[in-house]
Amino acid sequence: MIEINNASTLNDILNYCKDGETIYLKKGTYNGKFHITSNNITIIGEDMENTIITNDDYFHKILNDGNEANTFRTYTLLVTGANVTIKNVTIENRSKPSSKYGQAVALSACGDNFKCINTILKSAQDTLFTGPLPKDLIERYTGFLLKEQLNPRETKQIYENCKIYGDTDFIFGCSQALFINSDIISIGKGYLAAPAHAKDMKYGYLFYKCNLICNGIADGTFLARPWRDYGCAAFIDCNVGNHIDQRGFNKWDGTNRDKTARFYEYSLNTDLTKREKWVNLLNKDETIKYVNDFLKYIDYKL
C-alpha cells in the first residue's frame, strides 16, 4: 500500500504506479487534475467527507493548449484503466453554479469494471460522466481528446453507497451502470440522468433503492432525458422526492426520442399515474426479473 498526503505526490504515483497498487489518501484537499491509466488500481480515502480531490475546470475555460476545455476535458479525475476501485473520498468540481460555468465534470469514468463506493461526487452540470462516448462524439473528438477517452468499448460500472450532487444531466453517458443504495441529490432544477446507450446495448442505468433528494430549489426536476436515441435508465424501488416532476421523464425537447428511449420505473411509494405514456411502468414480476437479470449481467451480488 502506498500512503499519500499531498497532490503532487498523488499525480506522480498515478503516472508511474503499477497494476494492482493500492493507494491510501490521508485526510486533506488534493487540488489538481488527475488521471488513472493503470489497471487494477484501488484508491482508499481516510475519510469520505474530508479526503477531497478537487479542481475547477469548466466548458469555456481556456486550457494550456489554447482551446476551450469542452465538456470532456473539464474532469477533476479521469479513470481510463480497467478494474479500478475508489472508496471513501470526495471528488469535486468547484465550478458552480451551472448558470455561470456550464458543464463541469467531477468524475469521468471510462474504464470497464469500475467501482465507486462510499464516495461523494459534487458539481452542478454533468457531474459524473460514465464512458464510453456516443459513437458520433468519438468521431468528432478524435485528435482533440485523449485517445484513452475515445475507446468505444462497452463498460460496466457500480456506484454503491455514494452521494452524487448536481442539477443538469448530472449523471450521463453510455456505461451500463448500477447505482445502488445511493443518494442522488439535486441542487437545482434539471435532470438527474442523461443516458445515451446504443440500440444494441442490452441495459443502461439502473437506480436501485436510491434516495432522490432535493438540496436546493429543484421543483420540476426530471428523472432522466435521453441524450441520444435509445438511451436507457430504470428507477426501481427508489425513494422519490417531491421535487421530481409528476411526468417523471422528458423526451429531450425538440426531438422524437420518446419513440426510442428505454425508460423504466417501479415504486410502491410514489404515484406513477401521471408519468409520460411512453415510459415503461413495470409490475412486480417484471421488476424482479429486470433487477435479477441486470445484477447478473453486471456481476453484482446483493
Give the pLDDT confidence of 235-249 residue by residue, as tens digits.
Answer: 999 999 999 999 999
d(CA 31, CA 93): 10
The pLDDT tens digits of the residues spanning 70-82 come to: 999 999 999 999 9
Are 174 and 226 contacting, i.e. CB atoms less than 8 angstroms apart?
Answer: no
pLDDT of residue 216: 85
* CATH code where residue 267 lies: 2.160.20.10
pLDDT-wise least confident of 13-27, 79-93, 109-123, 228-242: 13-27
Q: Which of 257, 188, 195 is nearest to 227 (CA)?
A: 195
What mean pLDDT do residues 158-166 have?
98
What mean pLDDT do residues 65-90 have?
97
pLDDT of residue 41: 96
d(CA 203, CA 75): 25
Q: Where are the beta strands (DSSP E) in 80-230?
A: 85-87, 90-93, 107-109, 114-117, 120-122, 128-130, 156-160, 163-173, 176-180, 183-195, 205-208, 211-214, 222-224
| Res. 105: pLDDT tops 90 | yes
pLDDT of residue 230: 98
pLDDT of residue 4: 75
Reduced to 3 states, what is the DSSP secondary structure of residue 179?
Answer: strand
Percentage with pLDDT > 90 across the chain: 92
What mean pLDDT do residues 257-284 have?
97
pLDDT of residue 12: 85
Could you list the residue range(s) of the whole structural domain that residue 76 is in?
Answer: 2-298
pTM for this prediction: 0.97
pLDDT of residue 2: 84
44 pLDDT tier (thresholds 50, 70, 90): very high
Place of cell 480497467: 82
Grid cell in block for residue 164 = 452524487
pLDDT of residue 17: 87
pLDDT of residue 284: 97
pLDDT of residue 5: 77
Reduced to 3 states, what is the DSSP secondary structure of residue 71?
Answer: helix
Percentage with pLDDT > 70 across the chain: 100
18 pLDDT tier (thresholds 50, 70, 90): confident
| Res. 1: pLDDT tops 80 | no
Question: Which residues have C-beta within 8 Å of that of residue 168, sequence separation ≥ 6?
Answer: 98, 124, 125, 126, 188, 190, 191
pLDDT of residue 144: 97
pLDDT of residue 3: 85
pLDDT of residue 171: 98
| Res. 294: pLDDT tops 90 | yes
Q: Which of 176, 137, 136, 135 is nearest to 155 (CA)?
A: 176
What mean pLDDT do residues 58-85 have?
97
| Res. 272: pLDDT tops 90 | yes
What mean pLDDT do residues 148-177 have?
98
Q: How many domains does the chain have?
A: 1
d(CA 77, CA 287): 34
pLDDT of residue 89: 98
| Res. 9: pLDDT tops 90 | no
Average pLDDT, the chain: 96
